[in-house]
Chains A and B, each alone.
Chain A
Amino acid sequence: MAERSRLIEGWLEGDVLPPEVAAVVLPLMSVEQIVEIEAAFPNTVSIARLNEILAAHDAQGLPDWVPSPEIDRLRQLRNLLVAQVAGAGSHLGLDVSIAALAQLHGVSYVEVEAALLVADTDRLSGSIDALGAYGPTVEALRAERLELLGRLADGDAVMAATIGGLIDDGHGLADAVVLTMRAEAWAMTPDEVLVFDGFVEHFEVFDNATGGGTDEGVSMADLRWVVDHPADFAPDAVAAAAEVLANPTLRYRLDTALENNDVLDADGRFGGTRSDDGFFALADLEMFAMKQNLSFLVAGHFDAVADEGGETDGFLSKHDFETYLELHRAELSAEEIQAFEIVIEAEFYDKGWFEANKHALALAAAVLAGGAFVLMTGGLGSGISGALITTVAAGGVGATAAAGTTFTINAFSDESNWEDDLLANSVDGFFAGAGSGGAVLGVTNVAAMGTAGQIATGLGLTSDMTGLAGLGAFDLGLQYAIHPEEMDEAHDLLNRISLVTGVPAITIGGYAVWANRFAAPDPAVLYRVQGGTPPLASQSRIGIGPSGEMTIEGSNMLFVTFDDLGRARAYVAANRPGAEIISFDVDAAFVADVRASAVPEFEARMSPGVPLIADPSKTNSSFGLRADWIDRLAEAALEGTGRIVE
């Protein structure tokens, strides 16, 4: 027992675990399980010490510290611990069940939650299953929109001013409407929407700006590279990069979209005052879209949630949302229930984000819902919206495309037929509805369309105008999340999503599918330049073992590059002629961990143990790995894939 206490103390000293977690979980874990977790998060000094201790004990034979033979439950605990350590944004705890934990301890769910400060445990598992539990009819959704129409009155004046300004700037009316709606929904200015669209449109170009392979993300260095090398890129891509660089607030919002904390901002522009890692992954963009789209379903309930949820403390806690959902489940639409569940599961209530943004979100909800209804019901509208519908219905094709296709540019070019079908049907649905003097045709002709067409027409132009943005967010996720072999599974998921229909459901579905990328992503490719002639030579530290495994000599800093052969070749040509390049396929999850953990090189002394970002002006894929990460690299390398690059 003394030894176990020492272990726990070591973890606590390294700030590896929140004390609450350590106190409850660690005593229940076997040393082997602790070692497993250590392997996932070895970047602290205390972990290294722990490893040494455990290795010594393993050699001697360990006493059985596990109080329960129920290994599966302990495995859940392990996952919970991993999720805790991983922090926000991790999906490693996907399969963790709080209920199982409660059962294990013989306490209530709430008690476990309070004790463990659960953050990332079952954020997705419930939502996926929940999708299948809903099958709202298109009529029900329409009725909901009708009820929300009453809020439009407050939104019309805002819309009119914004739309008028955009028309003055040279935008067509339809484009102006689209931009205004999207801007309201996402708490952006219309200009920021355009910058965002430009960013998404040229994402792939930016991602690969410095040559070599893509890494599904855009760094500040990528953007600067494009701006600094205008002759190498299309003018609109250069302009888009410059716009993004000139708009730090938007960058910060996207950069911090994966965080669930510290997003308090009175004007609804969460995360707009600080950067995160300066690396904009597709996941950042998707999460941003999801949060904003999801919010409009929930924002209208904030006051009631605060009043009825429990303590009137002005804070919309998880408990508040759960209580309100329990009390009003029968009254809420399937979409709203879904939204509430996601809020709870994904912990979007955390840190008061909704509370801080409720006014902007309520406005967005009114504008979106009302606008969708007016456009959907054609001439039944009145006032500004009524006037708009005629024009939009007559010529709204370009507008919708402008709203949605920027998101979808890369999403429908792969092998998946159903992806194409989704886009085609969605756009067709809108065209049918808008192009025939009102969306009524689209609504009444639902049966003639595919599932995705029903999504578009069922929600009217909300799905299209804000809209296809939601679809785009979904598709962005699909593009990089789904391995070709996983398409069947994803197709099934899409069918379940279609039961719910609508932007929130789609983005939620996208979120769920997105999580799949953690299951079986394509391997990354590691490159290392080594060789030379002594004394000006690198140790040939990476080698190919007799079974095709990766061997690594020494524990000093090991510099490697992932997925950017171009950079490796350039280094040889410019700096180390005659050197060789060795490559290995490597588990993509490991590379993702490296990227997530790496810090700029100047922080080396301040950040013991973590990977260092190397040569950032040349590539965003070179890293210096330290001892613990070198061990992990050897484990992550795929046997039989090592080779010398010609």
Chain B
Amino acid sequence: MSDARVIEDIEIPALICQRGAWFYALPTIAELILDYPAYDPSFDAEVVGNRFRGGLAVVGVTDGFAFLAALDSVVYPLASYGQFVAVNSESARPQVVVNFDEAQLTSGYFDRAIESQCGEGWTGVFADPLDVLPSSVLGVLSSGESTT
């Protein structure tokens, strides 16, 4: 059964790497702002509770599993990328990479400086996400694009 669906306008296609495993995900920009309280001074984690990112207001470099769990409903196997391309064409292209193994967030999203909101321990980079992917992942993406 296909996971693919139309990507919503608030969602940013991203790749997440945790312990060597890669996932395709459709988080919102806010969900990619790893240190949200620093980004939004009015954010009150106690008030918001689990309504945002499963209560993970700040995503530390060791929070990979918690991050994936918080985004569970929008996290997909990397192999499903081709299905999203089939439905969304170019809009499915990953624009952000959150690599917990390397403690690095790479964003190619021009309109917002997501890379500047990572928080302690992270390295934020404004670059083409495809430039920081291992060949194996690129191969999966390329395969997904070519089969659609």
Residues of A bordering B, CB below 8 Å: 219-221, 224, 278, 529-530, 532, 535-538, 555-557, 559, 571, 574-576, 579, 600-606, 612-617, 624, 626-627
* Chain A residue contacts of B36, Cβ below 8 A: 602
In the complex, given contacts A278-B42, A601-B28, A616-B40, what are 11 additional A-B residue pairs having Cβ atoms less than 8 angstroms apart?
A: A221-B42, A529-B111, A530-B111, A532-B110, A535-B130, A555-B9, A571-B113, A576-B113, A602-B51, A615-B112, A617-B40
- B28 touches which of A536, A559, A604, A617 (Cβ 8 Å): A604
CA distance A536 to B114 in the complex (A): 13
A557 near B9 with CB under 8 A, answer yes
CA distance A219 to B91 in the complex (A): 35
* Chain A residue contacts of B48, Cβ below 8 A: 602
Closest to B10 in A: A604
B110 near A606 with CB under 8 A, answer no
Known: A221-B41, A557-B9, A617-B39. A601 touches B111 (CB 8 A): no
A559 near B108 with CB under 8 A, answer no
B43 near A559 with CB under 8 A, answer no
Q: How far is the CB of A155 from chain B (nearest CB, A)?
A: 40
* Chain A residue contacts of B112, Cβ below 8 A: 559, 614-615
B38 within 8 A of A: yes
CA distance A435 to B43 in the complex (A): 52
A556 near B42 with CB under 8 A, answer no
B30 near A602 with CB under 8 A, answer yes
CA distance A574 to B126 in the complex (A): 12
B116 within 8 A of A: yes
Closest to B52 in A: A602
A220 near B41 with CB under 8 A, answer yes
Enumerate 28 A-B pairs (CB-CB under 8 Å) in ascending A order.
A529-B111, A530-B110, A530-B111, A535-B108, A536-B126, A536-B127, A538-B111, A555-B9, A556-B91, A559-B112, A574-B113, A600-B40, A601-B30, A602-B36, A602-B40, A602-B43, A602-B51, A602-B53, A604-B28, A604-B29, A612-B10, A615-B39, A616-B40, A616-B42, A617-B38, A617-B39, A617-B41, A624-B29
Q: How far is the CB of B118 from chain A (nearest CB, A)?
A: 13
B128 within 8 A of A: yes
A557 near B51 with CB under 8 A, answer no
B128 near A575 with CB under 8 A, answer no
CA distance A121 to B68 in the complex (A): 49
CA distance A401 to B42 in the complex (A): 35
* Chain B residue contacts of A616, Cβ below 8 A: 39-42
* Chain B residue contacts of A530, Cβ below 8 A: 110-111
Closest to A531 in B: B110
* Chain A residue contacts of B108, Cβ below 8 A: 535-536
CA distance A579 to B10 in the complex (A): 23
A575 near B41 with CB under 8 A, answer no
Q: How far is the CB of B12 from chain A (nearest CB, A)?
A: 9
CA distance A627 to B126 in the complex (A): 26
Contact pattern, B 51-92, Cβ under 8 Å of A = 1, otherwise 0 = 111000000000000000000000000000000000000010
Q: How far is the CB of B14 from chain A (nearest CB, A)?
A: 15
CA distance A535 to B106 in the complex (A): 13
* Chain A residue contacts of B52, Cβ below 8 A: 602-603
A601 near B113 with CB under 8 A, answer no
- B128 touches which of A220, A224, A536, A624 (Cβ 8 Å): A536
Q: How far is the CB of A48 from chain B (nearest CB, A)?
A: 12
A538 near B110 with CB under 8 A, answer yes
* Chain B residue contacts of A606, Cβ below 8 A: 51
CA distance A533 to B125 in the complex (A): 16
Kindly name the residue among B9, B43, B113, B127 whose own CB sees the greatest number of chain A CB atoms within 10 A: B9
* Chain B residue contacts of A535, Cβ below 8 A: 108, 128, 130
Closest to B73 in A: A605
* Chain A residue contacts of B116, Cβ below 8 A: 574-575
B41 near A601 with CB under 8 A, answer no
B128 near A627 with CB under 8 A, answer no
* Chain A residue contacts of B130, Cβ below 8 A: 535
Closest to B74 in A: A605
* Chain B residue contacts of A627, Cβ below 8 A: 9
CA distance A219 to B130 in the complex (A): 39
- A537 touches which of B29, B110, B113 (Cβ 8 Å): B110
CA distance A538 to B109 in the complex (A): 8
Residues from 87 to 134 in B contacting A, C-beta threshold 8 Å: 91, 108, 110-113, 116, 126-128, 130
Known: A532-B110, A536-B127, A575-B113. A600 touches B9 (CB 8 A): no
Closest to A529 in B: B111
Contact pattern, B 1-39, Cβ under 8 Å of A = 1, otherwise 0 = 000000001100000000000000000111001001011
B111 near A559 with CB under 8 A, answer yes
Q: How far is the CB of B59 from chain A (nearest CB, A)?
A: 13
* Chain A residue contacts of B39, Cβ below 8 A: 615-617
CA distance A351 to B143 in the complex (A): 63
Q: How far is the CB of B130 from chain A (nearest CB, A)?
A: 8
* Chain A residue contacts of B91, Cβ below 8 A: 556
Closest to A223 in B: B41
Known: A221-B42, A606-B51, A617-B40. A575 touches B10 (CB 8 A): no
Closest to B93 in A: A535
Q: How far is the CB of A540 from chain B (nearest CB, A)?
A: 11
CA distance A606 to B116 in the complex (A): 25
Q: How far is the CB of B99 from chain A (nearest CB, A)?
A: 18
CA distance A371 to B9 in the complex (A): 60
CA distance A602 to B41 in the complex (A): 12
CA distance A538 to B111 in the complex (A): 6
B126 near A601 with CB under 8 A, answer no
Q: How far is the CB of A558 from chain B (nearest CB, A)?
A: 8
A626 near B42 with CB under 8 A, answer no
Q: How far is the CB of A617 from chain B (nearest CB, A)?
A: 5
Q: How far is the CB of A542 from chain B (nearest CB, A)?
A: 12
* Chain B residue contacts of A602, Cβ below 8 A: 30, 36, 40, 43, 48, 51-53
* Chain A residue contacts of B53, Cβ below 8 A: 602
* Chain B residue contacts of A529, Cβ below 8 A: 111
B9 near A556 with CB under 8 A, answer yes
CA distance A606 to B31 in the complex (A): 13
* Chain A residue contacts of B38, Cβ below 8 A: 617
Closest to A532 in B: B110
Known: A537-B110, A538-B110, A627-B9. A575 touches B126 (CB 8 A): yes
CA distance A553 to B113 in the complex (A): 21
CA distance A579 to B111 in the complex (A): 10
B40 near A626 with CB under 8 A, answer no
The 3 closest A-B pairs by CB, nearest first: A538-B110, A601-B30, A575-B113
* Chain B residue contacts of A614, Cβ below 8 A: 112
Q: How far is the CB of A581 from chain B (nearest CB, A)?
A: 13
CA distance A482 to B50 in the complex (A): 45
Closest to B28 in A: A604
Kindly name the residue among B33, B39, B91 whose own CB sees the greatest number of chain A CB atoms within 10 A: B39
Q: How far is the CB of A636 from chain B (nearest CB, A)?
A: 19
* Chain A residue contacts of B33, Cβ below 8 A: 601
Q: How far is the CB of A615 from chain B (nearest CB, A)?
A: 8
